[in-house]
Structures are given as structure tokens and as C-alpha cells.
């Protein structure tokens, strides 16, 4: 069997206020839309052109949902990593429809806020305290090295 990869990486701006909803079991899910844009100059007219693409994002990871609830607003610049998922649903008229969205699951998915804390400068990513507390930082003392081992080359 050949290897398969389903991974999406986006950097964009949140298009509207995130929506937080709960499942029947009380688990919270965050939904948001992210806009990405392409800019170019028309070769014949010299006119500046822009194309904006909208992406639906659903977040199932509890820690990331909490970050969205506390910090993400309309206009926030985000870096996200997730996977594509298409689901079929039936509308009120009985017509089958399909929706493709980016999913950040419990076991995978990354969300990094790229806005600065005061939103005056965007030089360094702003990572909320709750995210930083839940992120394990590795230091060189975390790894043991035995330099007395013989190296075969």
C-alpha cells in the first residue's frame, strides 16, 4: 500500500466571529472561516488583481477550542494545520449537499495566533498564556547524551 497524506496548512484571517457549539454529550466544537488571498499584477493591463478563497474550519481539540473562545476574533491572523474532510448532508428541501472543511482533531491539528498581543506589530507570533502552559518546551537537559559511546565511523 502506498503512503497517503491528508494535510492542509493555511495562514489567513478569520472572516467572522467564531461559533462555539456543543454536542449532545457536552463536548464543545469551534467553527470558523479563514480567508486566504492571492495578489498579482495583470500582464496586459498592469492592474492589481486579488482573489480571496474562503475556508471552513472545524476544531474538535478541546484545548484549541478554549483558545478560540478566549482569544480568536473576526480579523485575527491564524496559522492552522489540519486535514481535509468532505461530508454529505441533506438540506431542508431534501437535496443532498456536500461540504469540504479543514478539521483539527483531538489527536492532531495546530493553531497559532500570528497577531501580536497589542496588534500594533506583527513581528512575533502571539501565543496566549493558556496555549503556552499546555505546550511542552524541550530543553537540552531533557535529553541525555552519552559521549563515551564508540562511534563506528
- Residue of 143 and 79 predicted with greater confidence: 79
At 126 the pLDDT is 43
> Please, which residues have CB within 8 angstroms of residue 61's CB and are 6 or more apart in sequence?
104, 105, 106, 109
pLDDT at 122: 40
pLDDT at 7: 94
Q: What is the pLDDT of residues 87-98, one digit of tens each?
A: 998 999 999 999
The yes-or-no verdict on residue 73 having pLDDT over 90 is yes
The fraction of the chain above a pLDDT of 90, given in percent, is 67
| CATH fold label, 8-142 | OB fold (Dihydrolipoamide Acetyltransferase, E2P) (2.40.50)
* Whole-number Å distance between alpha carbons of 141 and 29: 37
Q: Encode pLDDT of 58-70 as tens digits.
A: 999 999 999 999 9
Amino acid at each position: 500500500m502506498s503512503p497517503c497524506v491528508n494535510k492542509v496548512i493555511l495562514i489567513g484571517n478569520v472572516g467572522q466571529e467564531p461559533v462555539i457549539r456543543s454536542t449532545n454529550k457536552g463536548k464543545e466544537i469551534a467553527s470558523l472561516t479563514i480567508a486566504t488571498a492571492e495578489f498579482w499584477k495583470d500582464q496586459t493591463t498592469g492592474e492589481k488583481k486579488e482573489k480571496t478563497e474562503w475556508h471552513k474550519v472545524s476544531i474538535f481539540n478541546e484545548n484549541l477550542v478554549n483558545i478560540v473562545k478566549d482569544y480568536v476574533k473576526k480579523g485575527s491572523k491564524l496559522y492552522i494545520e489540519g486535514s481535509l474532510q468532505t461530508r454529505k448532508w441533506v438540506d431542508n428541501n431534501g437535496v443532498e449537499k456536500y461540504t469540504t472543511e479543514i478539521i483539527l482533531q483531538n489527536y492532531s491539528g495546530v493553531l497559532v495566533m500570528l497577531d501580536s498581543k497589542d496588534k500594533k506589530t506583527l513581528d512575533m507570533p502571539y501565543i496566549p498564556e493558556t496555549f503556552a502552559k499546555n505546550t511542552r518546551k524541550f530543553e537540552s537537559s531533557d535529553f541525555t547524551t552519552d559521549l563515551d559511546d564508540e562511534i563506528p565511523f
